[in-house]
Each structure stands twice: as C-alpha cells, then as structure tokens.
Amino acid sequence: MTESFINARPATVMRPPAPPKKWTRGRVIGHLLVGLWTALLIGLLVYLYSAWNIELIQKYGPTYLEGLKTTIGLVGSSIVLGALISIPVALGRMSKNPIAASIAYAYVYFFRGTPLIAQVFLFYYGLGSFKPQLESVGLWVFFREAWYCALLAFALNTAAYQAEILRGAIRSVPLGQWEGAASLGVSKFVTFWKVILPQALIVALRPYGNEIILMIKGSAIVALITVYDLMGYTRLAYSRTFDFQAYLWAAIIYLILVEILRHIWDWLERRITRHLIR
C-alpha cells in the first residue's frame, strides 16, 4: 500500500510559473541607460549617414588604411623589439649582483615613471641637439627619421613593462618546480626553458595582451611628432576639412582593432589553459 503511494508520483513536476518581473527602480534605470546608449549609437549612425561624403571618403579613406598599416607596423615591431630587450632587463632585475639589479631597476623606474609622450619627445627632439656628435658616428640617418625615433622610444618603453611582466611570471612559478627538475639532474637552462617558462607564459599571457593594447592606444601620440599613423592621417584630414567625422571614423577603427585583439587573446587564453580546467 505504502509502496504504491510512493510510486504514485506525477511524471513531471509542476512548477509554479515564474513571477512577472517587476519594474524596480534598478530595472527602469537600466533600460533608460541602455536606451541612452542606443540613442547615442543611432545618433552616430545618422550623423555619419547624413555627413556621408563620397569625395571625402575617396580622398581620405586610403590614407586611413595607410595610417592603420603604419600603426600596426610600429606597434608590432616595437613589441617584438621590446620583448628582446626585456629579457636582459628581467634577468638584471632578478640578479643577485647589486650593480646589475640597480641598473635594471633604474631603467624600469625611469621608463615606467615618465609619460611615453615625454620619452618620445626626448628621443626625437632631444637627440636632435646632439646632431654633430651623431653625424660623426654615422647614426644621424637613424635619428633623423621620426619613425625610427618613435620605434626606439616605444621599444625601450615597452621593454620596461614587459620585463616586469616576465619577472612577475617567472617569480609566480613555485620554487619546487626548480627543485624538482634539479633533483632529476636537469640542467638549469633546460629547466628554465622546458619547465619554468611554459608555466610562466600562461601567467604572463593576460598582462602581455594588455600591454599590446596599451601600445596600440599609446602609439597614437606619434602623430604629434609628424609620423603619419592612423591618428596622424586623422589629424591631417581634420585640419584640411574641419569635418568632425574624421575623428569618429578613427575612433571606430581603433575600437574595432582593440576589440579584435581582445577576442583573439581570450581565445588564446582558453586554448592554452585547457589542461588546467577541472
């Protein structure tokens, strides 16, 4: 009797219907805010549509593309160059030798403590005052070009940041990993290359991505030292036409660039941390 009573459950559980969503204050504010954003975006689209000027696009569109290439080239090469420079700097920061450690510390402190724009000015205008000396060593050809000066300043700047990222990531690997490899008789170099670095790079991936995004955004300042990157051509287009859409198009391109990179980085992180997901 009791058994049949227990078995007499209905096949499906009847749930009460979800209560209707109330219009709380938060919900009203949220909808208003989203409405505001939508209105702004529609306003932007309407503005760009009404200001659509095929001559302008034909004239300045290709220059924007050219500028975008310059931006990507500058950021890409300075990141790679900076990564190379950052290795000795990070080694210096971790070194037990007080002289090497303090030199590396001063380097990192200087480049992280001063504005990138001041560094770029220092390299471009500042080194110009040493023209005779530079000419005598034959380096003037290099420092005469704004692009090379910007590249040098960017590479040295990002090297300071990347050295700190690298140092933090290597420090984050537990000491037991070194000891474990040592107890297996693996040499120090191989331990670093095969055991420590792969683990450190997982930690460093996110900050590296942030650094690249910061460099893309920071690279806009080269427009101030006459390099025609995306921002440079934008300023040129604005100064010739006084049409505000010049800046809006640049904003859209920068946003798309950063968002693409961010999504690539998210994907990359998911891909290389697969083995850590439990």
Partner 1 sequence: MEGSIALLGFGEGGWGPSIASGVLVTVSLALATLPIGLVIGFFIALGKQSLEPSVKLAANMYTTIFRGLPELLTLFVVYFGAQIGIQKLGQLLGYGGTLEINSFIAGMFALGVVFSSYASEVFLSAFRAIPKGQYEGGYAIGLSNGQTMRMVILPQLIRIALPGLANLWMILLKDTALVSAIGLADILRQTGVAARVTKHAFLFFGTACMIYLVLAILSSFVIDAIERSSAKSGVKR
Binding site for partner 1 (CB under 8 A): 24, 26-27, 29-31, 33-34, 36-37, 109-110, 113-119, 121-122, 125-130, 213, 216-221, 223-224, 231, 234-235, 238, 244, 247-248, 250-251, 254-255, 258-259, 262
Question: Which residue, 127, 111, 131, 129, is CA-closest to 119?
Answer: 111
Instruction: Give the angle subtended at the CA of 75 by the CAs of 72 and 79, to the nearest 5°.
Output: 135
At 77, list the tokens. 């090469």
Least distance between partner 1 and beta carbon 54 (Å): 22
CB 71 within 8 A of CB 148: no
Closest contact distance (angstroms) between CB of 186 and partner 1 is: 37
- State in angstroms the smallest separation of the CB of 96 from partner 1: 25
- HSE, CB side, 13 Å, CA atoms: give it for residue 143: 22
Q: What totals of helices (H) and strands (E) does the chain contain, helices first?
A: 13, 0
Q: In the complex with partner 1, which residue's Cβ is closer, 127 or 181?
A: 127
Return all residues near 49 (Cβ < 8 A) that are at least 6 apart: none
Q: Which residue lies nearer to partner 1 by CB, 38 or 77?
A: 38
Q: Which of residues 65 and 256 has its CB atom nearest to partner 1 in the complex?
A: 256
Q: Which is nearer to partner 1, 190 or 264 (CB)?
A: 264
Minimal distance, residue 103 CB to partner 1, in Å: 16
In angstroms, give the least distance from the CB of 244 to partner 1.
6
Closer residue to partner 1, CB minimum distance, 36 or 141: 36
CA distance 70 to 51: 27
Task: Tell me which residue has tokens 């998210």.
Answer: 266
| Residue indicated by tokens 């095929």 | 54
Residue 268 Cβ, how far from partner 1 at the closest point, in Å? 18
d(CA 139, CA 152): 13
Do residues 231 and 222 touch, judged by C-beta distance below 8 A?
A: yes
- Per-residue buried b or exposed e for 181-194, using 16+ beta carbons within 10 Å of the residue's own CB: beeeebeeeebbee
Amino acid residing at 32: L
Q: Which amino acid is at 71?
A: T
Min CB(200)–partner 1 separation in Å: 22
37 vs 193 by CB, closer to partner 1: 37
Which residue, 58 or 239, is less far from partner 1 as judged by CB?
Answer: 239
